[in-house]
Amino acid sequence: MSGPGHTNPARMPPPARMPTPARMPEKFVAPDLAALAALVRDARVGHFAFVEDGLPRVLPIAIVTDGAHILLHGSTGSHWLRLLATGVPVALSVTAIDALVIARSAFESSMNYRSAVLFGSCATVIDQVAALDLVTEGLIPGRVVELRSHSAKELAATLVLRMTVDEWTLKVSDGWPEDGPADVAGSTWAGILPLRTGYAEAIAAPDLARGISKPESVLAMLDG
């Protein structure tokens, strides 16, 4: 994986094994670390699945990449986050929707998307400050230098985990409608509707002191 503050993706070991897709194998692509990193950056939120007391659980949480791994963080008071820290097996699902595929029939209509499923386990990060800086930079590039340092109280209240990925799959759907000849010859419109994502405006906090302008990191997010 790559990105601001991340190590060389070449250091990531190959997955132990790749699950064999049961259907639509043409949508499963060869392991592409750059594509996986881009997906994580675009999605921002991942869903961690695990089992507790024999019951399935899902934890949606913000994620960023850290070289060969995934970083997540939250409150030390989170029961589920503390459970993940024990190293229980987890599955992480990440998805980004890129467009609606509008076919000439409901059956052929679909979405263009990128999705990944990663398997592994989590452990507590030792260098908490460095990891939190990676999280901040992963979500808002350039923001760390604009902020004060973490306080001891804040660090004590925060749990940062690193997921070691043992195996993963990446699935990409980016085609046109696959209508049959009879439908293509008809009069119904078909095409794709690309999904636009971004930040519309920066709304200042109501208690922001007068004269404080928008920082470079926020302006860059608006330009993007």
Q: How far apart are CA 19 and CA 16, in angstroms?
A: 10
Q: Which residue has the higher pLDDT, 203 or 3?
A: 203
At residue 16, the pLDDT reads 42
Tokens of 190: 């078909």
Residue 138 covered by a domain: yes
Q: Which residue range(s) make up the domain with 83?
A: 9-198
Number of folded domains that form the chain: 1
At residue 36, the pLDDT reads 86
Q: How far apart are CA 141 and CA 3, in angstroms?
A: 10
At residue 224, the pLDDT reads 65
Residue 183 covered by a domain: yes
Residue 221 covered by a domain: no
Summarised one tens digit per residue, pLDDT across range 205-216 is 999 999 999 999
Residue 89 covered by a domain: yes
Summarised one tens digit per residue, pLDDT across range 7-64 is 223 233 444 444 545 455 555 555 677 888 899 999 999 999 999 999 999 999 999 9
Summarised one tens digit per residue, pLDDT across range 65-108 is 987 799 999 999 999 999 999 999 999 999 999 999 999 999 99
Residue 127: count other Cβ atoms within 10 Å of its Cβ: 10
Tokens of 159: 């749990």
What b/e string do you get for 67-91 counting C-beta neighbours within 10 Å, with b at 16 or more?
bbbbbbbbeeeeeebebbbeeeebb
Q: What is the 3-state secondary structure (H, E, C) of the chain?
A: CCCCCCCCHHHCCCCCCCCCCCCCHHHEECCCHHHHHHHHHHHCEEEEEEEECCEEEEEEEECEEECCEEEEEEECCCHHHHHHCCCCCEEEEEEEEEEEEECCCCCCCEEEEEEEEEEEEEEECCCHHHHHHHHHHHHCCCCHHHCCCCCHHHHHCEEEEEEEEEEEEEEEECCCCCCCHHHHCCCCCCEEEECCCCCCCCCCCCCCCCCCCCCHHHHHHHHC
Above 50 in pLDDT, residue 149?
A: yes
Residue 178 covered by a domain: yes
Query: What CATH number does the domain containing 76 carry?
Result: 2.30.110.10
Contact 216, 224 (CB under 8 A): no
Residue 3 covered by a domain: no
Residue 184 covered by a domain: yes
pTM reported for the whole predicted model: 0.82
Residue 2 covered by a domain: no
